[in-house]
Copies of this chain bind each other. A is one copy, B any other.
Amino acid sequence: MAETKGNLMTYRPDIKLFDATIRDGGLVNDFRFSDEFIRRLYLANVRAGVEYMEFGYKASKELFSTEEFGKWKFCDEEDIRAIVGENDTDLKLAVMADVGRCDYKKDILPKEESVIDMIRIATYTHQMPAALEMINHCHELGYETTVNIMAVSASRDEDVETALQLVCESPVDVIYLVDSYGSLFPEQVRELTAKYCEYAEAAGKKVGVHMHNNQQLAFANTIEGIAHGASYADATMSGMGRGAGNCCMEQMLSFLKNPNYNLTPALRFVEKYIAEEREKGSVWGYDLPYMMTGALNRHPRAAIAFIKEKRSDYDRLYQDLLYEIS
């Protein structure tokens, strides 16, 4: 049997739940959430005992139009403060900044001027030098930082190892294993988490996991990841997120035995606000096309288009994916 940290009856104080509903869910609705949704989500996270909440992206307004996307694509300081005030709670606030899509020197304020606690830096392995510069910059501004190394299932092992070495020499606090395509199987998650933890522990850092549900493995992979050493677990309300979506926050609050957690605020949020979001036409969650892109280790864009077009010729999509013409 695999060695696991902790067990099913107790809890590990090092484990932190990280709500990514706005950021990953914003990829479904172009970040067009009502203020009421965001305010209620914030309160639900506070009451549920969730440790971190991500408000969205710090995207460049040079690259992305504020007409095309809602305000959580950009996360201006005043927009966050309109929801949280001074955030006089135990919930820490985060935003994500993508390497190459963010004017971080201009848009990220010094920590003492911001209500944000953590900057998450999302990068591909081929962007490591730029990612390291952002990590250093945000660290110097006074923030907690994570580095979210994306699409590792499609990266060479050697590149992932080099990336891990490099980030371990940086001041980053948390290194995320990100299954962007929802293509990892639990046995791969166990191996990769163990590898990430080996690097991270030697450097005094923590490991996080961010899983997608293309193969209905987001929850399984998240709990396997934490059982094998990860401390930060990303989840979203009802799994709201791009394509097949993410690990469900309700499942994590139900699974983890930390007495600080409370499932009720999440259930009530889902009953009203997630239901309204679905009624607005936002669609996410496991479906056959996502299974295919996940199993074939591809970006989900062909599956997202297939579902948007309300197609059901699954076999045609599969053949197209196999022969790369989709």
* Chain A interface residues toward B at CB < 8 A: 1-2, 4, 8, 185-188, 190-191, 194, 213, 215-221, 223-224, 227, 238, 248, 250-251, 254-255, 263-264, 267-268, 270-271, 275, 286, 288, 291-292, 295, 312-315, 318
Contact = CB atoms under 8 A, between A and B. Distances in A.
B315 A267 contact: yes
A187 B8 contact: yes
B254 A291 contact: yes
Given A1-B191, A250-B291, 15 more contacts: A1-B2, A1-B187, A4-B187, A8-B188, A215-B251, A216-B218, A216-B219, A251-B295, A254-B295, A264-B315, A267-B318, A268-B314, A270-B288, A275-B312, A286-B286
Closest 3 CB pairs of A and B: A220-B220, A2-B2, A267-B314
A267 B251 contact: no
The SS class assigned to the A binding surface is helix
A227 B187 contact: yes
A268 B295 CA distance: 18
Contacts of A251: 215-216, 291, 295
A264 to B, nearest CB: 5
A315 B250 CA distance: 11
Given A194-B1, A250-B288, A291-B251, A315 B268 contact: yes
A8 B191 CA distance: 13
B255 A295 contact: yes
Contacts of A188: 8
Nearest to A1: B2
